[in-house]
A and B are shown apart, each in its own frame.
Chain A
Amino acid sequence: MWLSKLLIGLVRILVGASPRWIGSTPSQAQRIYFANHSSHIDTVALWSALPPNLRARTRPVAAADYWDRDAIRRYVAVKGFNAVFIERTHADSSADPLQPLFEALEHGDSLIIFPEGTRHMHALPGPFKAGLFHLAARFPDVELVPVYLENLHRCMPKGTVFPVPLICTVRFGAALSRIANESKTAFLERVREAVVGLA
């Protein structure tokens, strides 16, 4: 897809987005990559750091209220990086907002998610939302891989539309072990610490 190539090329020229596999190696195993979120280019930066064969089976999770807002953004998100949309505003309280993510995982795809739910303009991530906990509980065999995106909060401060070129490295950590009967709070704290540990 030409749009994907264009997005990846642009991100590489602007921020490099070269991968550092610190605790894990690229693998065909089904995974959830979760990372700190500080700018609009995080999604494509993490996605383009993956080898092409893994990228084809990995879908970034994108906020519907931003990426599904108009036709152009929807086109970029769907055709450009094969996004899975998630509703952040609970208009329809009967539907589970995670349902599209469950479907993607059942289909065998890997996911990229930003558990903070929104952008934080700091080097370290803010508190994580519960979505990752529910995904992990429902799909115990999917590997949970922490990722730290370095420097991107400096490239694109809040309120700006185009990034300033600074080199960003994408650090992949070791897949998290599962602990039986771990509470939600403890789990979310542990996965957040895994991202912080890569900073």
Chain B
Amino acid sequence: MIAQDKFFWLIGGIAAILLMASIAGWLLGLRIKSENGRAVVDNLNARVQAWWIMVVVFAVAFLLGKVATIVLFALVSFFALREFLTLTPTRASDYRALSLAFYVLIPVQYYLIGIEWYALFSIFIPVYGFLLLPSLSALTQDVEHFLERSAKIQWGIMVTIYCISHVPALLLLDIPGYAGQNALLLFYMLLVVQMSDVLQYVFGKIFVGRTKIAPVVSPSKTVEGFIGGAVGATLIGAGMWWITPFTPLQAAGMSFITVLMGFLGGLVLSAVKRSLGAKDWGTMIKGHGGMMDRMDSVSFAAPIFFHLTRYFFTP
């Protein structure tokens, strides 16, 4: 099967799942009348609707090609960083550092993916960004909470730009026997992470979720939900091996690690969010919260997925 055919099978499959979810949501809406139940069903339907939009946006970008995909993720980083810094107490003296982050670091980081300059892509933010951002803030001579402010900005930039940019960076890997199909690998990684999130939510909420893993950080995460979601998403990932350069067993292993990292990403960013005093990152995606509420698990899974693939599957 050629890449194009695999892509349409993939999109067809996702559309079928979403269609089932939409119908299920509609039927639940007809049956459930209690006040509490209604709120859950409304949120579920809002989430499904947002999924439709997200899948269409991603599919269109992939069909348009590499540049569109890179631009799409640059925008994701932009909106994610905007949410992160909105919740972060910065001061007027951070203006230059923030401008650098939005108007220089984002475009350059994604441009480096576009021109396939891997070496600079991998160190640009951790080295150059790390050193230059606090320099700009220091020049304004505002020392109040200097370390806290700098550290928070650095954190936001690492997660929202550096980590998320590893999703489209999958396009620059040269995997033997897989030329021209890297977009599928990108889709695969996102699918595994998001299926894991969805299944954890479903198993936790609708079936058996009782034992909370970390009630302070993330009240919705339960042991039952995690196990169900992890096993389910790993099986789905293994079953989708045919769109990847992996064997079924390798696909299962990669999926499992991806799921694990995604879970940790959700947990850590939930802790960050709470330490900043918020429940949701934003309101951009109806039913889900903000961009970062949807990308938290991706931001942790993408760099590890990228480096494992690069280490084991490229010469």
A residues apposed to B, CB below 8 Å: 16, 18, 121, 151, 154, 157-158, 160, 162, 164-167
B residues apposed to A, CB below 8 Å: 78, 81-83, 85-86, 90, 92, 95, 98-99, 102, 282-283
A156 to chain B, nearest CB (A): 8
B residues less than 8 Å from A157 (CB atoms): 92, 95
A178 to chain B, nearest CB (A): 35
Q: Which of A16, A157, A158, A165 gathers most chain B CB within 10 Å? A: A165
* B78 and A18 form a contact (CB under 8 A): no
A18-B283, A121-B92, A154-B92 given; A167·B86 CB < 8 A: yes
* B95 and A167 form a contact (CB under 8 A): no
Of B83, B99, B282, B283, the residue contacting A164 (CB under 8 A) is: B99
* B283 and A166 form a contact (CB under 8 A): no
A residues less than 8 Å from B83 (CB atoms): 167
* B95 and A166 form a contact (CB under 8 A): no
* A165 and B90 form a contact (CB under 8 A): no
* A164 and B92 form a contact (CB under 8 A): no
A121-B92, A154-B90, A154-B92 given; A166·B85 CB < 8 A: yes
A residues less than 8 Å from B90 (CB atoms): 154
Of A121, A151, A154, A165, the residue contacting B102 (CB under 8 A) is: A165
Of A18, A151, A164, the residue contacting B95 (CB under 8 A) is: A164
Of B82, B92, B102, the residue contacting A167 (CB under 8 A) is: B82
A185 to chain B, nearest CB (A): 31
A154-B92, A157-B92 given; A164·B86 CB < 8 A: no
* B95 and A165 form a contact (CB under 8 A): no
A98 to chain B, nearest CB (A): 33
* A160 and B95 form a contact (CB under 8 A): yes
A residues less than 8 Å from B99 (CB atoms): 162, 164
Of A158, A160, A162, A166, the residue contacting B86 (CB under 8 A) is: A166
* A151 and B86 form a contact (CB under 8 A): yes
* B92 and A166 form a contact (CB under 8 A): no
Report the Cα distance A151→B89, complex, angstroms.
10
B139 to chain A, nearest CB (A): 15
B residues less than 8 Å from A162 (CB atoms): 99
* A165 and B92 form a contact (CB under 8 A): no
Q: Which 5 A-B pairs have the closest CB atoms?
A: A157-B92, A167-B86, A164-B98, A165-B82, A166-B86
Report the Cα distance A166→B87, complex, angstroms.
9
Of A158, A165, A167, the residue contacting B282 (CB under 8 A) is: A167
B residues less than 8 Å from A121 (CB atoms): 92
Report the Cα distance A157→B142, complex, angstroms.
14
Report the Cα distance A121→B282, complex, angstroms.
24
Residue of B nearest to A15 (CB): B82
A residues less than 8 Å from B92 (CB atoms): 121, 154, 157-158
